[in-house]
Every structure is written in structure tokens, then in C-alpha cells.
Structure 1
């Protein structure tokens, strides 16, 4: 089982805003730094699964009519995302491009 690692916020992302594109680990911003490039809502085509990647390194996932079905923290390294649910469940995914996320056998798309 993979152990969660602490999220590091702040100046590193502000100083290197393109780190995710070059394989570096980036985290959501705090204290006025630019937000992580993948922050926002990601949904399946049928809108059944909705991942909201929050700027503070947390996520909130809705499933069907169940809002906040899963909540926890996330970390992005390059185009890879790791999730640590508050209940201890872990998952991961891959950002195929700026608008497509493959996660747990699902394909999610960025919603504006």
C-alpha cells in the first residue's frame, strides 16, 4: 500500500509554473500563486461521475445523485494524478491532454 506524502504548496509552483509539463511534481497553489493547470471540474460523458479538483489540493467527487461521495487530497506529478480518499482508499489516473483524464477505467473531460 502506498503511503500518503505531504503536499508542498507555494513558491515552487509560482517560480516554475510549467513544471507539470516537464515531469515535475506540482501542487495546487496557495497564497496568491497561480492555480495548478488541472484544477477544476472533470466529468464523465454521461455526467454520472464528477471530480472537482480544488485549488487547495483537495478533491470532491460526486457519483450520480450522491454529492460528495468521495473526498480527499490529490497530488499531480507530470501528467499523473494520485488520490488519497479520507477513508484511506487510494487511486490514480493519467491526464491524456489538457481536457481528458483517464481514471479507474473511466474517461473524464474538463468542464468549463
Structure 2
């Protein structure tokens, strides 16, 4: 029986990475795009003056995010060093003051 090789070092050690806490508001450096990741697995993205330009659901696996827009469009993102790289966008978590 052939077993799949672990794709990440932590899998080789027998543990999976913990899901990153992504809940909150993420914004581009210029503030034009604001993506709110809600605790219920939904997201709401505003672009400029257009609120709720995109809405849908997301799931988190480790530091990877999979998005499914309400229209069926899919996208992905990854969080590295506290920065969300979402397709061609770079978003930063807004301070929770």
C-alpha cells in the first residue's frame, strides 16, 4: 500500500497546523478594499464607496483561506506574517481599538 507523503513538515510530525484566527476587518494599504471576515464563516467585501460589493463564505485551513462568493466565484488567500495575500490583493488587519 502506497501512502501519500506529507506536504508540510508539521504533517510529517503527526500534527496539523492550527487554523489562524482571521476574524475581523482586513484592508488594503490605500483603504479602497475592505474585507470583513465574520465569525460565522461569512465575508463582506466593500470596494471604494460600494459596500457589500462581494459577499460569500470562507473556510480556513491552517493559514490558507478558501472563498466562495454568493455567485459561485471562488478565490483563495494565505496569511503570512500577519498579512493576507488574497489573489492579487495585499490586505492588513485593521487595529481593533
TM above 0.5, yes or no, is yes
Structure 2: runs of 5+ lacking an equivalent: 1-15
Q: CA deviation at 1:37?
A: 1.4
Which whole-Å CA distance do the structure 1 matches of 2:39 and 2:68 have between them? Answer: 16
Unaligned runs of 5+ in 1: 1-21, 27-35
Name the counterpart of 2:17.
23
- Deviant stretches of 4+, over 2 Å: none
2:23 is matched with which residue: 39, 53, 65? Answer: 39
Give distance in 2, aligned partners of 1:91 and 1:58. 14
Q: What is the TM-score normalised by the length of structure 1?
A: 0.67
Work out the number of aligned pairs and report it. 80
Q: Which residue in the other structure is 2:37 paired with?
A: 53
For 1:1-112, what aligned pairs fall within 5 Å after superposition?
22-24=16-18, 26=19, 37-97=21-81, 99-112=82-95
TM-score of the aligned structures, taking structure 2 as reference length: 0.77
Aligned to 1:45, what secondary structure does the other structure show? coil
CA RMSD after TM alignment: 1.3
